[in-house]
Amino acid sequence: MSDHLPPSHKPVKAPKIGVLLLNLGTPDGTDYWNVRRYLKEFLSDPRVIETPKWLWWPLLNLVILSVRPQKSGHAYAQIWDKEKNESPLRVITRNQTENLAQRLSGDGNVIVDFAMRYGNPSTKSVLEKLQAAGCQKILLVPLYPQYSATTTATANDKAFEALGQMRWQPAVRTAPAYFDDPKYVETLGNSIRDGVAKLDFEPDLVITSYHGMPVEYLQRGDPYHCQCYKTTRLVREYLGWDKSKLMVTFQSRFGPTKWLEPYTDVTLGELPGKGIKKVAILAPAFSADCIETLEEIAMGGKDTFMEAGGEQFAYIPCLNDSPGGMDMIEAMVRRELSGWLD
């Protein structure tokens, strides 16, 4: 590549293709300051909190960030990977990245990496690393099956912000949401069927718990709510189950405003009183297990259900870096790289 260049010219890297997996983010530790730093970046994102800044800034900085880091830090500590000293989200996302890189290694000129919208590794730092490695084409892959402005859009926003500061800017594609992708539906359906088959009880109900959002966001045109229901409907049809067997709920609400219903925690507290005392639950909005699945649902959700009179409770893990999950990610990435790969 550099044979014809003048002696003083910087070396030119051979052209490569980058694949960048994008996920939400995680604090670097469970202590107050690491969690506070993470929450401040997350809750300062206008895509996530649409409250006017003049009203939200003092509430966030003077109230929420004074008390919430301790609570969140305690929750993170319950699920922290102490061997690697990282959150499960970062560990799993790295595993997905390394697995995908191995699967694409035969294509020769592809580099796979991952970045977080909030926290480390930052989107900007990884994009700069890919560009410096010679990636003249980069595929951005937000790991959110269902589209929302609070997830997919802000992940892409952060990438575009970094690209906007580059002199030699690579060509970029963004992978779309895959909530109704047949391969995703099949993989998710198989994970539910296999997960239920491994249990020592037969669930009265299987719950698909999605991350919630304020109802106002839906009213402003966010398609997330509809895509969640479509995912569950398609999976139910794939499994051949009755409508009464698979339910949609929404978790992780924050603040006093009305969020998407039915609420997961409220539902789990009410089901035993309705005679539904054996449940299995999963979180299809997450591509990797994290604090919202492992602490909020697998631990907190179980406590709520059992204290209300439930008898059996099981959490079915996210697709993570399972063989089926990786087959799905690989198929999606190869499809979106069409025309770039030889």
User: Is 225 marked as a binding-site residue?
Assistant: no
| pLDDT computed for residue 4 by the predictor | 67
- CATH 3.40.50.1400 at 182-315, yes or no: yes
| pLDDT computed for residue 48 by the predictor | 97
**Residue ranges for the chain with pLDDT beneath 50:** none
Which residues, in sequence order, are CB contacts of 130 under 8 Å at separation 6+? 18, 20, 111, 113, 138, 170
Same fold, 16-178+324-336 and 182-315: yes
- pLDDT tens-place string over residues 210-241: 999 999 999 999 999 999 999 999 999 999 99
Q: Which residues of 232-270 are buried (b: 16+ CB within 10 A; e: fewer)?
A: bebbbebbeeeeeebbbbbbbbeeeeebbeebbbebbbe
| pLDDT computed for residue 134 by the predictor | 96
Reported as type and span, the H/E element at residue 272 is none
| pLDDT computed for residue 186 by the predictor | 98
The CATH number corresponding to 16-178+324-336 among 3.40.50.12780, 3.30.300.20, 3.40.50.1400, 3.30.230.10 equals 3.40.50.1400
User: Is 211 marked as a binding-site residue?
Assistant: yes
pTM: 0.95
Q: Where are the domains of the chain?
A: 16-178+324-336, 182-315
| pLDDT computed for residue 302 by the predictor | 98
**If you count DSSP H runs as helices and E runs as strands, how many of each does the chain have, helices first?**
12, 8
